[in-house]
Amino acid sequence: MSKSSNAAQGRLAGRVALVTGAGPGLGGAIALAMAQEGANLVVCDIDSEALSHTEKALAATGVECLALRCDVSDSAAVDAMFSQAAERFGTVDILVNNAARVPTSPAEESRRNRHYAYLTTPMERQSLGIVASLSDEDWLKWWDVNMHGVFFCTRAALRIMEPRRSGKIINIASIAGLGTQSMHSPGYSATKAGVISLTKTTALDVAGANIHVNAIACGAVLTPPFQAYLDTATAAQRNSLFQLIPTGRIGQPAEYASLAVYLASDDHYLVGQVISPNGGAVI
């Protein structure tokens, strides 16, 4: 059986999914998993080269794909993207809000290492001085993509979904929004908590229109930036991280993508739920 025939019989056959932040990593894995289940894809990223890799992988599955460079923190650009998606495919059935900034700068990695060492090494209790040392930029930079972008894309999707009384929205949150696992990055944690709250309020708003909104609160994901951190971390730093995860390993993008496919399907009764695959880091 051909790849295109397999796709035509998948759980998402005939549907249109829009995935933000769809370069290599989690967004690309989610887009590919949905294509393998038959969905046609609209994918966006601000990194055109990364987006091109995803577009080629999707084309190999036999589904139709529209790849667009889009900065989701720009509401006009988001509205234009959804207009192009509707013009090309007639609708958007599934939205995956995956685009996000993540804490990967040298300063953030230093704070991460101090945080993990504090949790896993016996030492005198003390303030780590993280919140007090943050600049305005350290705080404000998280909100444009992580929070505003999710809202802009959700609003644009609902303007298509509500008249049709059908749709699935999947917000990619984080265990950082559930607790203190990313205390080393307060701005990131705050925005992911905001995504969780927006998921719940939006779900209640639109459930009566047969639109299901849910969130995936991811644990650590072995994306290229996380792999780069592991490659440069010392053995002690890696051990501190793995000691915080009962399974002792980082989750693979495909393991999260399979859950996104399930939430995009009609095989569940979930509304406004936050599901957290995390290897036991949060129980």
How confident is the model over 217-248, as pLDDT tens digits? 999 999 888 898 899 889 999 998 899 999 99
Report CA 180 to chain centroid distance, whole Å.
19
The least confident of 15-24, 112-121, 150-159 is 112-121
Nearest to 185 by CA among 242, 237, 109, 250: 109
How confident is the model over 89-111, as pLDDT tens digits? 999 999 999 999 999 888 998 99
pLDDT at 1: 38
pLDDT over 70 (residue 6): no
Distant-in-sequence, close-in-space partners of 29: CB < 8 Å, separation ≥ 6: 253, 254, 256, 257
pLDDT at 226: 87
pLDDT over 80 (residue 4): no
Task: Give the Cα separation of 164 and 86 in Å (integer).
Answer: 13
Task: Give the Cα separation of 149 and 86 in Å (integer).
Answer: 19
CB contact at 8 A, 154 and 198: yes
pLDDT at 24: 80
Question: 116, 188, 229, 256: which one is catalytic?
Answer: 188
**From residue 203, how far is each of 27, 85, 168, 272 by CA, in Å?**
22, 23, 10, 5
- What's the mean pLDDT in 45-64? 96
How confident is the model over 132-184, as pLDDT tens digits? 999 999 999 999 999 999 999 999 999 999 999 999 999 999 999 999 888 89
How confident is the model over 270-282, as pLDDT tens digits? 999 999 999 999 9
- What's the mean pLDDT in 100-128? 91
Task: Give the Cα separation of 92 and 187 in Å (integer).
Answer: 31
More confident residue, 7 or 63: 63
pTM strictly above 0.85: yes
Give me the percent of the chain exceeding a pLDDT of 90.
86
Task: For residue 188, indicate whether it is catalytic.
Answer: yes
Question: Which domains are assigned to the chain?
Answer: 3-103+142-229+251-275 (3.40.50.720)
What mean pLDDT value characterizes the chain?
A: 94
pLDDT at 2: 44
